[in-house]
Structure 1
């Protein structure tokens, strides 16, 4: 018979007994006491009786302990069942999720878990339930998100061309100004807020459907808002409608917020009341039109989303005056948080100019 495997020499019985009293694992404590018996000169049979196991298991504990010390005597996490998807099938799943369903082929306009389960079975004869597919998607880095609206006729090339050419547009404005005039880049947009208000997501117990107040009346007002992301400034008005006259009032408000001696370049979409020759544009403002159907270029759209999600949604406005009061309160709260304007509104393509 071969000789028993000796224990490592940097521990002793007293040390293992002390560790057994501090560990939170009952199984580790039992194994430490069994090995402490060996350190103190006891037999392997006695150690096996303390541990309630056979001699082969004691031998395994000794090997594990010698390799990595007391930590190796902790129970490891069970590996669990093998994944039923291989790497090829996972790559195919990623491709189909990224490309989205084809309604004429798949019969749906968005993937549900049950649809992906059916697709996997049709393609690979792999049968998975919804929970398993959800777990696989999360491992692959996918979560269920609300899609961002995009105009159906949007020209992505025009967006990129505008970003690359913005420095040239800014140079045209600088060319007609006195040399050394500071330039402030502003973004302008309007938002309608009314009694027919929006409802946001909210935390709720799993399996329930939370409710929120929803008014069906039609009174509304408009927030005309503009921000200067680099300086964290804002200028806004709450008015009953949008037209050339109200736009002129808003430009005058922006003009007051521009630093003395500076010139503001205001980026806005091509709404009729933005581009008309009848608009009264202050001397310290130049207007640059954004490409059509490209609201993503205007960070004020993100400002509106933030204000609705945090301050304006899930409310019932009892009157037009209440709408105006809460819109003013929300806008003033935003202006009092310049860091918020900076973090939401900054765009790299304007800072390269």
Structure 2
């Protein structure tokens, strides 16, 4: 039998037990206790059992301890095989995904994992499984999500210019007000709530597809909503129709929710019932119209999504009254959570100095 390997002598048994008690690595603690037992003079076979190992394994850890000290008793995690795609190639793949496919070249209108598998193989000479392509996309920060509709006539430059110059636009609209008057920024929009309702995603067992009711009738109401993100408040009306008269009622409702002594600047889209000269705008409200085809600038769009995903979707409404009740209940739940309104509605470009 080979002679027992001597332990280094710069650590005492007490030192090793203290290190074992302080260690956050269970396996390192077990090995330290076994070595402490060896220093106490215990038979090495019995000392090995303390750490849940055999004598030969204890011998191997003694060598590691002698060479590297207590840190050498930690598990060495395998780094796995080297990546098959370099950082530069991964960056190029990310750009390919963000750019999207060319239908004439790739024959598809959106990337699937099988398509990207082919692209990676052709461009980089690496053959991955589809599942691995999915893991790579996740590691690069991508997720498989639904795209948001975009009007083909939308001009991103116009939207950026509007945000960049909003402070100047605001000053131009409120320049007639007394100096120092408090200004509140509000956003307004309308949503149709009806029997032909939406179905949202939900958690379910893999391999199943849950069923939810989907009505095919067309009774609906319109929810006029406005929020002041800085204050976390809102003003809404559920009405049977949409148009100038309905908008007038909503403007009057908003004016009652403006803080006393403040003036509201209401940002809204260019729908006909918003821009008509037949509206009588309350004295404590000023309208500022968003660029055409730019719903991304209006956070009330996200408010509608929040209401639908939490309280309005996956439901069937038997009557018009049920629709109105559901819309009103959803809005009341929203205004009962001012932090949610602020979280969804605050925009850096519109709330300079109001955070």
In the superposition, the TM-score normalised over structure 1's length comes to: 0.87
TM-fit CA distance, 1:294: 0.5
TM-fit CA distance, 1:232: 1.3
Q: Does 1:279 align with 2:279?
A: yes
Q: Please give the root-mean-square deviation of Cα atoms over the aligned residues, in Å.
A: 3.2
Question: What SS does structure 2 have at the residue aligned with 1:263?
Answer: strand
TM-fit CA distance, 1:324: 0.4
Counterparts of 2:82 and 2:72, CA distance in 1: 24
Paired position in structure 1 for 2:352: 352
Paired position in structure 1 for 2:333: 333
Are residues 65 and 321 of structure 1, via their aligned partners in 2, closer, same or farther at CA, if it must alter by over 3 Å? same
Paired position in structure 2 for 1:161: 161
Are residues 68 and 122 of structure 1, via their aligned partners in 2, closer, same or farther at CA, if it must alter by over 3 Å? same
Question: What SS does structure 2 have at the residue aligned with 1:288?
Answer: strand
Matches within 5 A, 1:166-177: 166-177=166-177
In the superposition, the TM-score normalised over structure 2's length comes to: 0.87
Of stretches 321-330 and 181-190 in structure 1, the one that deviates more from structure 2 is 181-190
For each residue in 1:226-266, what CA deviation from the matched residue of structure 2 results, as whole angstroms up to 9, or x when unmatched? Answer: 11111112111000111111101110101111123322111
Q: Does 1:206 align with 2:206?
A: yes
For each residue in 1:154-199, what CA deviation from the matched residue of structure 2 results, as whole angstroms up to 9, or x when unmatched? Answer: 1111111111222222222332223333221111100001111111
Paired position in structure 2 for 1:130: 130
TM-fit CA distance, 1:31: 8.0
Q: Is the 8 A contact 1:102 1:108 kept in 2?
A: yes
Paired position in structure 2 for 1:114: 114
Paired position in structure 2 for 1:9: 10
Q: Is the 8 A contact 1:224 1:237 kept in 2?
A: yes
Matches within 5 A, 1:143-292: 143-292=143-292
Matches within 5 A, 1:36-75: 36=36, 38-40=38-40, 52=54, 54=56, 60-66=60-66, 69-70=69-70, 72-75=72-75
Paired position in structure 1 for 2:105: 105
Are residues 350 and 47 of structure 1, via their aligned partners in 2, closer, same or farther at CA, if it must alter by over 3 Å? closer
Of stretches 132-141 and 154-163 in structure 1, the one that deviates more from structure 2 is 132-141
User: Where in structure 1 are there 5+ consecutive unaligned residues?
Assistant: none
Are residues 37 and 262 of structure 1, via their aligned partners in 2, closer, same or farther at CA, if it must alter by over 3 Å? closer
For each residue in 1:34-74, what CA deviation from the matched residue of structure 2 results, as whole angstroms up to 9, or x when unmatched? Answer: x45642457989989995465xx656422422455556434
Question: What SS does structure 1 have at the residue aligned with 2:95?
Answer: helix
Question: What SS does structure 2 have at the residue aligned with 1:260?
Answer: coil
Are residues 324 and 67 of structure 1, via their aligned partners in 2, closer, same or farther at CA, if it must alter by over 3 Å? farther
Report the number of matched residues.
348
Q: Is the 8 A contact 1:13 1:37 kept in 2?
A: no
Q: Is the 8 A contact 2:17 2:32 kept in 1?
A: no
